[in-house]
Chain A
Amino acid sequence: MSITNGNRFGFGSGIRADSLFRIVFGSAVVVAGLLLLGVILSMVASSMPVWSIQTPLSFVFGDRWAGEVTQPDGSITGNYGAVPVIWGTAVSSVIAILIAAPIGILAAVYLVEFAPRKLAAPLTFLVELMAAIPSVVIGLWAAGDLSIRLRDSVEWWVASTLGRVFPWLSEDPNAPASQSVFRAGMVLAIMIIPMVVAVSREVIRSVPQSLREGFIGMGATRWETIRHVVLPAARVGLTGAVLLALGRAIGETIAVTMVIGNAEGIPSSLFLPGQTIASKIASNYGEAGSPTQVGALAALGICLFAVTFLLSLAIRLVVRRSMRQGGRVG
């Protein structure tokens, strides 16, 4: 009895201790899961007052954020419309990704394929450092320095050329807006470039060297090798990198809040202030007194979560696919 039950190291009953241990450690995962569930349920529960005065469809497709409206018959209806903030989120993120994806991917290519080791190491270090800077610090710099530079350079230039043809690229040259959706997109681009670079770098590095040699050995230049062999072999992983960065851009709050201007409605031009889902929550929670006001912000939270959740799923699928492909390549 003592031989089978007791542990000769004197640790007590090994089996029972082990299963207790598993339960304790496993419960940590459950705690994490419950927290995520809590995030979702808290938003769903808090948004309920809104759904008693308007429908989810009218929320998602409503183009004005007008709050509660008292009808002539005394009943109250909700008039919260998320379209302007969804527009702001989409536009600023798309601007960011359009700039960050090519720059980030090409920079990663440079670091892996071209940069001499003495240059690659410090450059990589600096890029990683950029990723470590708190977004509020970036926001402060953007609001105090970058935003003004952009206004007086790119924005002015585009507005005075293309802006004459396309109203959505115009601005009043005498009174350019102090904040704009475009600048929010640029700040986001700067913030997500390090992420694109870091992930792309890993992806490009994992392309087997033998493929590069094969193509170079056929009389290809380095750039041809990158274009026809390396980038195609890495495309799935690079898609993952871009999606990851897109998720970050969509959810980024404080830096955007500091440069986008937080104006209601869809601006007529990219060079005018706007609002994103996240910046709306951050700038409106303080005034949210009534249950429907809080609920409307929670409903925005649900929208934001839904988008980032779908992106996480998509990235997972992409990563799985690239792993399968990697198996075939290797």
Chain B
Amino acid sequence: MSLVRLTASDLTKAPSGRDARRRRSDRIMRGVMFATAAAAVIPLIGLITFIAVHGVPFLSSQFILNSPLDKEPGISNAIIGSLQLTIASIIVAAPVGIAGGVYLNEFASPRISSAGELLIDVMLGTPSILAGLFAFLVVVPALGFSGWAAIVALSVLMIPVVMRTTQEVIRLVPAGVREASLALGIPVWKTTIFVTCRTAASGLLTGMVLAISRGLGETAPLLLTAKGTNDTEILNFGSTMNAMPIVIYRYAYAADKLHIGQAWATALVLLVIALVLNVAVRFRTINSRVA
């Protein structure tokens, strides 16, 4: 086919042949792409519907407030356990992650900074089961299946999340802010804590929420460490502990309807928490971007 010089009068005719085919394939591909976007979202809708439909009938105040050993069993010990383990882990992970992220951005030489980036990448890319395996191999032989082991495993997973977010938000702090402070004769350490980190505070919080959200949802590392129990343990990290993901996993294969229903209901609770945390993070991020 040779080059046809299109003129104005050609434009009034409906495109034919090749141009019509091009137009059609454009429309078809638009449809295909819309379908893929829908396909990416449909599972979410199916999942939420399914969990809600099966979980809601089992939601009750007893379910939330009672322990598995009560006459009307609930999952209170798992809720308490999840909260304790996550909070304890973030107490370990946040200082390490934030300090490390700040160091890599503010003080490290380019070479160390790039090595640190790689370290974070590798840690983020390490499957969570390996963090669990680490605690299982190192802590469990010494302390047994325990909250401590779970905290070690969860910290390994949370530290890189906090460190990466810290790095990203500290990078956004304008150099001028620091320089203004340093020019006033304020030492580096005070500038870093009271100026740089203060400016980035909401971003640092975002990182912590992301890490908490990850910690709350992890299952495999908890199975290998906290193991799960029917007892309610409060601040007794030396013993086995329960957590919501463990309940879901263990009850999913239970023989009786009640436990399977409780797995769905627990999943619903965990789902709602995950969604709320996600929305909160988004909201914060959007706000801080505007500001």
Query: Do chains A and B directly touch (beta carbons under 8 Å) in the complex?
Result: yes
A residues neighboring B (CB under 8 Å): 7-9, 11, 14-15, 17-18, 20-22, 24-29, 31-33, 35-36, 38-39, 42-43, 45-46, 102-104, 106-107, 109-111, 113-115, 123, 125-130, 132-141, 143-146, 190, 193-194, 197, 221-224, 226, 244, 247, 250-254, 257-258, 278, 281-282, 285, 294, 297-298, 301, 304-305, 308-309, 311-313, 315-316
List the B side residues contacting A35 at CB < 8 Å. 123, 155-156, 159
Q: A282–B131 Cα gap in the complex (Å)? A: 12
Q: Is the CB of A294 within 8 A of B119?
A: no
Say whether, besides A254-B219, A278-B220, A282-B220, A136 and B248 are in contact (CB < 8 Å): yes
Q: A27–B108 Cα gap in the complex (Å)? A: 12
Q: Is the CB of A282 within 8 A of B96?
A: no
Report whether over half of chain B's contact residues are helix, strand or loop; otherwise say mixed.
Answer: helix
Q: A261–B30 Cα gap in the complex (Å)? A: 39
Q: Is the CB of B36 within 8 A of A110?
A: yes
Q: Within the complex, which residue of A36, A43, A123, A134 is in contact with B219, where a contact is CB–CB below 8 Å?
A: A134
Q: Within the complex, which residue of B39, B96, B189, B275 is in contact with A28, where a contact is CB–CB below 8 Å?
A: B96
Any chain A CB within 8 A of the CB of B51?
yes
Q: Is the CB of B245 within 8 A of A222?
A: no
Say whether, besides A223-B25, A252-B127, A106 and B134 are in contact (CB < 8 Å): no
List the B side residues contacting A106 at CB < 8 Å. 32-33, 36-37
Q: Which residue of A lies closest to B127 (CB)?
A: A251
Q: Is the CB of B271 within 8 A of A32?
A: no
Q: Within the complex, which residue of A139, A190, A304, A313 is in contact with B129, where a contact is CB–CB below 8 Å?
A: A304
Say whether, besides A29-B116, A128-B278, A136 and B217 are in contact (CB < 8 Å): yes
Q: How far is the CB of B124 from the nearest CB of chain A, in Å?
A: 8
Q: How far is the CB of A72 from the nearest CB of chain B, in Å?
A: 33
Q: A227–B224 Cα gap in the complex (Å)? A: 47
Most interface-central of B54, B116, B122, B125 (chain A CB within 10 A): B125
Q: Within the complex, which residue of B103, B120, B127 is in contact with A304, where a contact is CB–CB below 8 Å?
A: B127
Most interface-central of B99, B133, B213, B217 (chain A CB within 10 A): B133
Q: Per-residue 0/1 for B136-165: is the Cβ within 8 Å of any A Cβ (1 yes, 0 no)?
A: 111000000000000000011001100100
Say whether, besides A134-B270, A140-B248, A223-B26, A32 and B119 are in contact (CB < 8 Å): yes
Q: Is the CB of A298 within 8 A of B278?
A: no
Q: Is the CB of A39 within 8 A of B126?
A: yes
Q: Is the CB of B123 within 8 A of A114?
A: no
B residues neighboring A (CB under 8 Å): 22-23, 25-26, 29-30, 32-34, 36-37, 39-41, 43-44, 46-47, 50-51, 54, 95-100, 102-104, 107-108, 112, 116-131, 133-134, 136-138, 155-156, 159-160, 163, 185-190, 192, 213, 216-220, 223-224, 245, 248-249, 252, 263-264, 267, 270-271, 274-275, 277-278, 282
**21 CB-based A-B contacts, threshold 8 Å:** A21-B192, A22-B188, A28-B95, A29-B108, A36-B123, A36-B126, A103-B40, A107-B36, A107-B39, A129-B278, A133-B47, A135-B219, A137-B248, A140-B248, A140-B267, A144-B54, A146-B46, A221-B22, A258-B249, A308-B125, A312-B124
Q: How far is the CB of B250 from the nearest CB of chain A, in Å?
A: 10
Q: Within the complex, which residue of B33, B136, B264 is in contact with A114, where a contact is CB–CB below 8 Å?
A: B33
List the A side residues contacting B213 at CB < 8 Å. 132
Q: How far is the CB of B56 from the nearest CB of chain A, in Å?
A: 15
Q: A40–B43 Cα gap in the complex (Å)? A: 36
Q: Is the CB of A21 within 8 A of B189?
A: yes
Q: Is the CB of A18 within 8 A of B187?
A: yes
Q: Which residue of B lies closest to A308 (CB)?
A: B125
Q: Is the CB of B270 within 8 A of A137?
A: yes
Q: How far is the CB of B172 from the nearest CB of chain A, in Å?
A: 16
Q: Within the complex, which residue of B41, B95, B102, B223 is in contact with A130, where a contact is CB–CB below 8 Å?
A: B41
Q: Is the CB of B282 within 8 A of A134?
A: no
List the B side residues contacting A137 at CB < 8 Å. 47, 51, 217, 248, 267, 270-271, 274
Q: A130–B37 Cα gap in the complex (Å)? A: 13
Q: A136–B218 Cα gap in the complex (Å)? A: 8
Q: How far is the CB of A236 from the nearest CB of chain B, in Å?
A: 17
Q: A14–B186 Cα gap in the complex (Å)? A: 8
Q: How far is the CB of B9 from the nearest CB of chain A, in Å?
A: 17
Q: Is the CB of B129 within 8 A of A281?
A: yes
Q: Is the CB of B249 within 8 A of A312?
A: no
Q: Within the complex, which residue of A22, A27, A102, A222 is in contact with B36, where a contact is CB–CB below 8 Å?
A: A102
Q: Within the complex, which residue of B40, B104, B186 is in contact with A193, where a contact is CB–CB below 8 Å?
A: B40
Q: How far is the CB of A88 from the nearest CB of chain B, in Å?
A: 14
Most interface-central of A25, A32, A281, A304 (chain B CB within 10 A): A32
Q: How far is the CB of A188 from the nearest CB of chain B, in Å?
A: 12
Q: How far is the CB of B76 from the nearest CB of chain A, in Å?
A: 19
Q: Within the complex, which residue of A130, A139, A282 is in contact with B44, where a contact is CB–CB below 8 Å?
A: A130
Q: Is the CB of B188 within 8 A of A18?
A: yes
* Besides A46-B137, A281-B133, A305-B127, 15 other A-B contacts (C-beta < 8 A): A7-B185, A15-B187, A27-B99, A33-B119, A103-B39, A111-B37, A133-B274, A134-B245, A134-B274, A140-B264, A193-B39, A258-B252, A282-B223, A301-B129, A308-B125
Q: Is the CB of B33 within 8 A of A107?
A: yes
